[in-house]
Amino acid sequence: MTAHARHTIDADTTPEFTACYLRVAGDECAFIEAHTAHALPKLLAALRAHGRRPEDVRYVVVTHAHLDHAAGAGALMDACPNATLLAHPRAARHLVDPTRLVASATSVYGEARFAALYGVVGSIAPERVRALADGESFELGGSRLVAHHTAGHANHHIVIDDPAVFSVYTGDTFGLVYPALQGRGLFAMASTSPTNFDAGAARRSVATVLSLGERFVCPTHFGAHDDAPAIAAQVLRFIDRAEAWVDEAARGDEPLPAMEARLADRWREAIAAEAPEFGDAERALLALDVELNAQGLAFVAAARRSAGV
């Protein structure tokens, strides 16, 4: 009988902030998420630690094309010569040719900061990339994993159901569940970073994950958790708030910077309401997510305003 295991890799420079998962199935294995090019040594070290070689990697799976999940996919594919990259059809084309992703992020961060954050974002040969339809499965060591399209955080997002290890890899669909914030009770926050937040789709995607009925949910941020219904309830409260904030902002006339600042304040207030015990350290850990979440909601509100919706 094939031995099946799932291993969490702490891939980021901030501890327990961004995970990649190594899925081992007998002599075969797969990575779920690639993080950035800077994470490559950690991913290859995890292979060695579990007695596997880069040649044993059959798949590299990315839940979506945001750079903290997929910027390192090209480097990882270069290191794993037998691997096929699996992604949503909309994400796959950007991983074959990441020019637009790189240009967009570089315009925000500048070249030096982009390189420090993400390293080199390499292209991937089209023949090594497979786009996964909603409900499409793939085989690993005799087990069957299934991709489900889950829009809401991004319109090119998938989650991967992995019954052999009772797990579903949720990317950012099921929120952010940082271990450092769980010491005094559950804290799970929705991610609404730019640019495709859709509250209705996000709620449906949370329901999709719950419907799979797996024991563990494995968000990229961070690690495996066995309390999916409680996580879902808190994430949904944040999604409901975000929807109301977007509706309000879309009806207003404030300029984009002011809108982003006000939405960031709304996020801080909501975090304080959900976790009044948080101190400076916890708030600092969430500072980047607050900024990105506010930017994402402001983008949607501004687009709706421009469209007259």
- Residue 78 and residue 209 share a domain: yes
Angle separating helix axes 228-251 and 256-274, nearest 10 degrees? 150
Is the pLDDT reported for residue 179 higher than 90?
yes
Is the pLDDT reported for residue 145 higher than 80?
yes
- Residue 257 and residue 184 share a domain: no
Confidence of residue 309 (pLDDT cuts 50, 70, 90): low
pLDDT at 101: 81
pLDDT at 152: 97
Q: What is the pLDDT of residues 202-261, one digit of tens each?
A: 999 999 999 999 999 999 999 999 999 999 999 999 999 999 999 999 999 999 999 999
pLDDT at 88: 98
Angle separating helix axes 111-118 and 99-109, nearest 10 degrees? 120
Virtual torsion, Cα 13, 93, 224, 183, nearest 10 deg: 50
Asked if 146 and 161 touch (Cβ cutoff 8 Å), the reply is yes
Confidence of residue 120 (pLDDT cuts 50, 70, 90): confident
- Residue 163 and residue 55 share a domain: yes
Strand order in the sheet with 158-162: 137-140, 143-149, 158-162, 167-171, 216-219
Residue with tokens 């007998």: 26
- What mean pLDDT do residues 36-53 have? 96
- Residue 220 and residue 91 share a domain: yes
| Number of domains making up the chain | 2
pLDDT at 108: 65
pLDDT at 306: 85
- Residue 191 and residue 241 share a domain: no
- What mean pLDDT do residues 185-202 have? 95
Confidence of residue 10 (pLDDT cuts 50, 70, 90): very high
Is the pLDDT reported for residue 114 higher than 90?
no
Of the three residues 228, 252, 273, the one that is the final residue of a domain is 228
Q: What is the pLDDT of residues 17-28, one digit of tens each?
A: 999 999 999 999
Q: What is the mean pLDDT of the chain?
A: 95
Of the three residues 212, 228, 244, the one that is the final residue of a domain is 228
Look up the domain containing 124 and give its range.
Answer: 4-228
- What mean pLDDT do residues 76-94 have? 97
- Residue 252 and residue 189 share a domain: no
Of the three residues 186, 206, 228, the one that is the final residue of a domain is 228
- Residue 148 and residue 85 share a domain: yes
Using alpha carbons only, give the angle 23, 74, 189 rounded to the nearest 5 degrees: 60
- Residue 169 and residue 38 share a domain: yes
- Residue 153 and residue 86 share a domain: yes
pLDDT at 77: 97
305, 205, 216: which is closest to 255 by C-alpha? 305
Rounded to the nearest 5 percent, the helix, strand and coil shares of the chain are 45, 20, 35
- Residue 16 and residue 138 share a domain: yes
Residues 6+ apart with CB under 8 A from 87: 61, 62, 64, 65, 70, 95, 129, 130, 131, 132, 156, 158
- Residue 244 and residue 104 share a domain: no
Is the pLDDT reported for residue 181 higher than 70?
yes
Q: What is the pLDDT of residues 254-296, one digit of tens each?
A: 999 999 999 999 999 999 999 999 999 999 999 999 999 999 9
- What mean pLDDT do residues 5-24 have? 97
Is the pLDDT reported for residue 1 higher than 70?
no
- Can you list the positions of beta strands (E) in the chain? 4-10, 19-25, 28-32, 57-61, 84-87, 129-131, 137-140, 143-149, 158-162, 167-171, 216-219
Cis geometry, peptide bond prior to residue 222 (ω within 30 degrees of 0): yes
- Residue 155 and residue 36 share a domain: yes
More confident position, 180 or 111: 180
